Structure 1
Amino acid sequence: MGGGPGGGAGGGIETSSLLWAVIMSAFAGFGGILFGYDTGTIGGVIAMDDWLKTFGKYDPTLQYYIPTNDKSLVVSILSVGTFFGALLAFPMGDMVGRKWGLVASCLIFCVGVGLQLDTKWSTFIGGRVVAGFGVGLVSCLVPMYQSECAPKSIRGLIVGLYQLTITIGALIAAIVLNSTKDRPNHSAWRIPISIQFIWAFILGGGMIFLPESPRFLLLKGRRAEACHSLGRLMSKPADSPEVEAEATEIESALTVETSAQTSSYLDCFRNNESRSGLRTWTGVLMQGWQQLTGINFIFYYGTTFFQQAGISNAFIIQIICDVVNTVMTIVGVQLIDRVGRRRLLLIGAVGMCVSEFIVAIVGVTVGHPQQAADGVHVNLAAQRVLIAFTCIYIAFFATSWGPVVWVVTGEIFPLSIRAKGMSLSVASNWLWNFGIGYATPYLVNPSTTGPNGVKAADLGVKVFFIWGGTCVGCFFFTYFFVPETKGLSLEQIDLLYRESSIIGSEKYRQQMLAQGENFTTNYQAETEAIVS
C-alpha cells in the first residue's frame, strides 16, 4: 500500500492524507464489536438469576437451571445464523455493494437484537439466529471493504483491526455485565443485550458517509463513480492522473479475471490460470484451522476449565485472559505489515503448539487437585504454570492466527470471485465455530446424572492435547498453502498467484517490489508478445 499509483505502478491506493484513508478503512472494523460483544455477553446473561427464572427450569435440588443441551444451543446457535449470513454475503456484496451491504446487515442485526428482548424461549433463540445472520454478513463484508479501500502499506494493520475490535467488544461486555448482574428484574439481561443497538447504529450510520469500494464500482462498470470514490480515498481530484492510473491498474486486472467468465460458486474451485481453486481452499481451510486452535474453548468455557483445575479465582483469571488477548492483538496488528503474514502464522502455530502441550502435560501430571483425608490439595506451582502458559498461548494466537487470518482471507482472492470466495471462507469459520462451541462441553465435562444428566467424555485438561495437535496442522498448512503477500497491492497478489509457487512466494514478492512489477505492465507485455 505504500508507493504511489503513478504510471499504473500497481502500488495500491495511495493517499496524500493517510489519516483520512485510515479513518475510512478502519471504521468498518467497528463491526467486530458486534460479534465480540455478543460472545462476551451471552455467557454472562445465561448465568443471571432473572434470565434463569425466565427461560430455565426448576428443580428442588438444583433450583433454577438451564439444561446442558439448552446451554449449548443458546451459546452456539448464533453461529448457525452467521454461517448462512456469510454465505449470502456474496449476493449482498455483489448486488448492492460493500457499503450498502454493511448498512443492510446492521438493520438485520437490530431485528435479531430486538427479538432477544422477548421473554419467550423460541423468540429468544430465533433472535439469536437472526442476529447471527447479520453478524455473518458483517464478518464477510467488513474485511472485504477494508481490503479494497485500504492503502497497501497498512492494509494488514487496518484489516487486523477487525480482530482487535472483537476482543474489545468482549471486554466491554464484561464491564456491562458486571454492572447489571445484580438487578432483580429483566433489565439485568435486557440492558446488556440492548446496548448492541448502539454498535449497529455506529457502524451502519457511519458507513452511509463513507465511499463505496472503487473495485466494486469498476466491477459493475461504473467508472465515473469509481474515480470519485478513489479520489476520496486518495485525497485527490477524481480526474487527477494518479486516480486515473489507479483505476486503469484495477481495470487491467479485472479484464483478465472476468475473461474466465466466473459466474458460480463452482467456478471458485476450478484449477484455472489464476488458481482460483487453490485460493478458495486456502481461505476456507485457514478459517477452519483458526477455530481448531482451540481459542474459543478459553473464551467460551475458560472459567469452568480453571475451576476444574482447582483455581479458586477462576473469574479473575478469565478477565486476565481477556486483557492478554486484547493487548496482544494490538501488538499483532502492528506486526502484520512488518513481519509478514506467512511468517507470523508459522511463528504463532509453533508458539501455540508448545504452550498447549505444556498445559496438557502439566495438567494431567501434577496440575489436577488431589483428594486427601484433610481436604483437597492443590499444587500452586502447577497452577501458576497452567495460567502462565494459557496466557502465552493466547498471546501467540492474538499476534498471529487471530488477526492475520482475516487479513489473508481479505486479500488472496481475485476481484471476480472475491465476494464468493470470502463468503465461503467466513462461512467455514462460523461452521467450525458452531461445531466446536456446541461439542466442547461434551468433550471436557464429566458425565452427570439426574434431571440435568448427560454423558460426556470428561477429557478436562487433556483436551489441550487435541488443540496442540491441531496447531501442528496449522504449521504445515501455512507452509504449503499460504503465500507471503506483505506490501503487495491486491492486483500484485493476483500476479503472485499466477507466476509463483507458494513456498517461493517470498522471493518472488521481493523481486516484484524491487523491479516494480504489477498487473498492468505484465498484462501489456504479454499482449504485445502475442501480437508480435
Structure 2
Amino acid sequence: VSLDFPLNFHPTRFQHLLNMGWSFWRRWCRCRECVARVGDHHECLRRWVLSSYYVGGIGLTLPRVQPLAVFSLGAYDTGTINGVIAMQDWLNVFGDYDPTGVLGTSTHGRFITTSNKSLVVSILSAGTFFGALLAFPMGDKIGRKWGIVYSCIIFSLGVGLQLDTHWATFVVGRVIAGVGVGLVSCLVPMYQSECSPKSIRGLIVGGYQLAITIGALFAAIVLNSTKNRPNHSSWRTPIAVQFAWAFILGGGMALLPESPRFLVHKGRLDEARRAMSRLTNTPADSTEVDHEINEINAALHEEKSAGSGSYLDCFRSNSLKYSLRTWTGILLQGWQQLTGINFIFYYGTTFFQSAGISNAFIITIITDVVNTAMTIVGIQLIDRAGRRRLLLWGAVGMSFCEFIVAIVGVTAGKTTDTGGAVNLAAQRVMIAFVCIYIAFYAISWGPVVWVITGEISPLNIRAKAMSLSVASNWLWNFGIGYATPYLVDTSTKGQPNGVATAALHVKVFFIWGATCACCAVYTYFFVPETKGLSLEQIDMLYENSNALQSTKYNRELQAGEHNEKHETSSHEAAMKI
C-alpha cells in the first residue's frame, strides 16, 4: 500500500489498513501459545534471559541479558516531529500562507505559527503524562507484560491517525500516540527492574535510555532520506516507520514471562516460580528459585504491613520512607528534563541555524551519534561507578559546558569584530561544548535516572510511584517543549500573525546551566547509592541509612551478603563430607 495518499484521503483505505492489522493480530494471538510452549521445551530458548527495551526490543535477548537492537517510540517521535514540520509538503498541507515571505522560511510562502509549532511538538508529551498515570491501573490489573502489549496497540492507533491530512486528526493522533508512549515509558523500566539480576540491573534498565538515543539517531537518518521528496511520502514515511517499532516490542513482549514480583504480589506463586525459572535458567523446584520467591514474599509482607499500597501510601512517612522514595523519583525525572537536553533534540536544528551554522542538519546527526555512543559507555558504568557518583559528576560537567556555550554565544556572536565574516572559531567551540554536554548527559542523567526510579520504590507501591515519576517526566517535557519557541524564537510582534517572544537564542543556555547546578545539589543531599543491591536490600538501605551515608551502608550490605553466602557454601560442603 502506497503511503503517498491523495489529499482527499478516503476513509475506506484507512479502514482497510486497520482491518489488515486486526486480522494479523488475531492470527498472531493464535500462534502465541504455541510459540511459548516451544520456548518452554527447548533448552536453547530457555537459556535466553527474557527482557524487553523501550520500544523496538525484539523481546528475546542473548544469554545473560545482552540486548538486541532496540528503538524508542517516544525518542523516535521526538527526533521525527522537528524534521517533519520543516518539510515543504507538510507545510503545504498543514501550514499557513504568508504572501510577504516575512514569517516563514518556506520558498512557497508556507509557514507554521509559533503557537501551532508549540502545540504539535508538545502535545505528544501531554498524552504521555496521562498515559503514565494510567500505567498504574493497567500494570497492577493486567500485569506488566500485557500492559506493554496493549500500550503498543494504543500507540499504533495514534500513528495511523497522524497519516491523515486534517490538522485536528493529526493532533489527536499525536495525543493518542502519546498515551501509548506514556504507558510503555512507565511499564518497561518497571518490568526490567523486576526481572533483572541485581548485578546487571543498571545495565539492563539503562538500556532503556540507549533505546531512546538509537531512536533519535534513526529518526535523523530517515528524515534525511525522505526530506526532499515532493509528495506526502516525505513526511508520512518517517511517521509510518513507527508501526514497526510498536509491532516488534508488542510481539516480543508476548513471548516473555510475566514479572515474578507481580505474580507474587497477586498470590500466583506457582506461576511466579515458573517465570523465575525461565529468567534464571534453573528448575522451578530448585533452591535458588525458592530463595528468590521467599525473599520477594517476605519483603511484600513487610511492605503491606506499612500500608495498603494506595496513592496516599506513596506519600506516607514510615520506617521504609515511602514519601521520600516517591518524591525522589518524581523530582529526579523533573530535574532530568530541566538539564535542557530536549532543547537540543526538539529544536537543535533551529538553534544551530540561528547560530549561523550552515549545515545544521549534519550537526544534529553528529549530536545524535555522540548521544548514542556515550550512552553505550554510560550503561556500562552504572553498575561499576555507581548511580550517585555518575549523577553528581554528570550534573557538574553539564553545567560547565552549558555556561561555556552561553558565554561564547553571547560574547562572540555570529560574526567577527572586524568585518562581518562568520566567526568559525566561535561556532566550533559552541558545537564542541554542546557535544561534550550531551556526552555528560548520556553517561549520567540519561540512563541513571531511569534506573533509580525503577528500583527505589517498594513493590507494594511500585506501579503507583513509577507512574507518578514518569508522569512528572512527561509533564516537564510538555512544558519545556511548549515554552521553548516562546523563549528562543525571534519575536515577530507587529507582523501579521506575529507573536511576542523572549528571543533569548543562545542565552537560554544560562538557564540550563543553572538548573544543572541545582541537579548536582539535589543529588548530593537526596539520592542514595543503590549499586549492587537487590530490590529488597534497597528497602533496608532506606530504613537504616540516608543519602549521605548510603555509600558506606551499601558496602556493608554487600559485604554481609558475601559473608552469608560464604558461610552457606561452607556448611553445604561440610554436609557433603
| TM-score (normalised: structure 2) | 0.84
Call closer, same or farther: CA 1:368–1:21 in 2, change over 3 Å: farther
Q: Does the 8 Å contact 1:26/1:159 carry over to 2?
A: no
- Aligned partner of 2:523: which letter? T
CA shift at 1:21, angstroms?
A: 7.5
RMSD over equivalenced CA pairs, Å: 2.0
Call closer, same or farther: CA 1:462–1:28 in 2, change over 3 Å: closer
**Corresponding residue for 2:158?**
112
Q: Does the 8 Å contact 2:529/2:550 carry over to 1?
A: yes
1:311-331 deviations in whole A, cap 9, x for unaligned? Answer: 222222111111111110111
Q: Distance in 2 between matches of 1:343 and 1:239?
A: 40
Q: Distance in 1 between matches of 2:506 and 2:48?
A: 42
1:82-138 deviations in whole A, cap 9, x for unaligned? Answer: 000001101110000000000010010011011111111101000000000000000
**Corresponding residue for 2:510?**
465
Q: Is 1:24 aligned to 2:50, yes or no?
A: yes
Q: Is 1:211 aligned to 2:257, yes or no?
A: yes
Call closer, same or farther: CA 1:161–1:20 in 2, change over 3 Å: farther
Q: Distance in 1 between matches of 2:161 and 2:406?
A: 41
- Aligned partner of 1:147: which letter? S
Call closer, same or farther: CA 1:359–1:22 in 2, change over 3 Å: farther
Call closer, same or farther: CA 1:516–1:456 in 2, change over 3 Å: same
2:134 to 74, 88, 93: 88
Call closer, same or farther: CA 1:371–1:75 in 2, change over 3 Å: farther
**2:329 alignment partner, SS class:** helix
**Corresponding residue for 2:369?**
323
1:409 to 440, 443, 453: 453
**Corresponding residue for 2:85?**
46
**Corresponding residue for 1:140?**
186
Q: Distance in 2 between matches of 1:307 and 1:65?
A: 17
**Corresponding residue for 1:433?**
477
CA shift at 1:450, angstroms?
A: 1.9
Q: Does the 8 Å contact 2:55/2:248 carry over to 1?
A: no
Call closer, same or farther: CA 1:22–1:287 in 2, change over 3 Å: farther
Q: Is 1:384 aligned to 2:410, yes or no?
A: no
Call closer, same or farther: CA 1:326–1:19 in 2, change over 3 Å: farther
Q: Does the 8 Å contact 2:54/2:185 carry over to 1?
A: no
Call closer, same or farther: CA 1:438–1:21 in 2, change over 3 Å: farther
> Residues 172-321 of structure 1 correspond to what in structure 2 (within 5 A)?
172-321=218-367
Q: Is 1:341 aligned to 2:387, yes or no?
A: yes
Structure 1 residue runs of 5 or longer lacking an equivalent are 1-16, 520-532
Q: Is 1:124 aligned to 2:153, yes or no?
A: no
Q: Distance in 2 between matches of 1:45 and 1:133?
A: 21
- Aligned partner of 1:268: which letter? C
Q: Distance in 1 between matches of 2:428 and 2:406?
A: 14
**1:377 alignment partner, SS class:** coil
CA shift at 1:510, angstroms?
A: 0.3
Structure 2 residue runs of 5 or longer lacking an equivalent are 1-42, 58-70, 102-108, 565-577
Q: Distance in 2 between matches of 1:261 and 1:518?
A: 33
**Corresponding residue for 2:401?**
355
Q: Does the 8 Å contact 2:196/2:204 carry over to 1?
A: yes
Q: Distance in 1 between matches of 2:477 and 2:563?
A: 38
Q: Does the 8 Å contact 2:370/2:438 carry over to 1?
A: yes
Q: Distance in 2 between matches of 1:214 and 1:28?
A: 20
Q: Distance in 2 between matches of 1:341 and 1:19?
A: 32
**Corresponding residue for 2:203?**
157
Number of corresponding residues:
502
**Corresponding residue for 1:3?**
none
Call closer, same or farther: CA 1:511–1:334 in 2, change over 3 Å: same
- Aligned partner of 1:232: which letter? R
CA shift at 1:152, angstroms?
A: 0.9
1:115-173 deviations in whole A, cap 9, x for unaligned? Answer: 11111110100000000000000000000000000111111011011111111111111
Structure 1 stretches of 4+ with a deviation exceeding 4 A read: 17-23, 26-29
CA shift at 1:19, angstroms?
A: 10
- Aligned partner of 1:156: which letter? G
**Corresponding residue for 1:423?**
467
Call closer, same or farther: CA 1:53–1:21 in 2, change over 3 Å: farther
Q: Distance in 2 between matches of 1:177 and 1:21?
A: 38
CA shift at 1:453, angstroms?
A: 1.1
- Aligned partner of 2:111: which letter? Y
Q: Does the 8 Å contact 2:56/2:246 carry over to 1?
A: no
Q: Does the 8 Å contact 2:139/2:187 carry over to 1?
A: yes
Q: Distance in 2 between matches of 1:18 and 1:461?
A: 54
**Corresponding residue for 1:453?**
498
1:40-66 deviations in whole A, cap 9, x for unaligned? Answer: 111111111111111111122231111
> Residues 59-98 of structure 1 correspond to what in structure 2 (within 5 A)?
59-62=98-101, 63-98=109-144
**1:474 alignment partner, SS class:** helix
**1:385 alignment partner, SS class:** helix
Q: Does the 8 Å contact 1:102/1:142 carry over to 2?
A: yes
- Aligned partner of 1:352: which letter? M
1:265-312 deviations in whole A, cap 9, x for unaligned? Answer: 122011111100000000000000000000011111112212222222
Q: Does the 8 Å contact 2:49/2:279 carry over to 1?
A: no
Q: Does the 8 Å contact 2:52/2:188 carry over to 1?
A: no
- Aligned partner of 1:54: which letter? V
**1:81 alignment partner, SS class:** helix
Call closer, same or farther: CA 1:229–1:508 in 2, change over 3 Å: same
CA shift at 1:182, angstroms?
A: 2.1
Q: Does the 8 Å contact 2:53/2:188 carry over to 1?
A: no
Q: Distance in 2 between matches of 1:514 and 1:75?
A: 49
Call closer, same or farther: CA 1:427–1:517 in 2, change over 3 Å: farther
CA shift at 1:22, angstroms?
A: 7.2
CA shift at 1:368, angstroms?
A: 3.5
CA shift at 1:25, angstroms?
A: 2.1
- Aligned partner of 1:433: which letter? N
**2:503 alignment partner, SS class:** coil
Q: Is 1:512 aligned to 2:551, yes or no?
A: no
Q: Is 1:34 aligned to 2:73, yes or no?
A: yes
Q: Distance in 2 between matches of 1:353 and 1:44?
A: 28
Call closer, same or farther: CA 1:342–1:295 in 2, change over 3 Å: same
Q: Does the 8 Å contact 2:391/2:520 carry over to 1?
A: yes
CA shift at 1:452, angstroms?
A: 3.9
Call closer, same or farther: CA 1:367–1:518 in 2, change over 3 Å: farther
Call closer, same or farther: CA 1:358–1:28 in 2, change over 3 Å: closer
Q: Does the 8 Å contact 1:68/1:452 carry over to 2?
A: no
- Aligned partner of 2:180: which letter? G
- Aligned partner of 1:210: which letter? L
Higher mean displacement: 229-238 or 23-32: 23-32
- Aligned partner of 2:143: which letter? G
| TM-score (normalised: structure 1) | 0.91
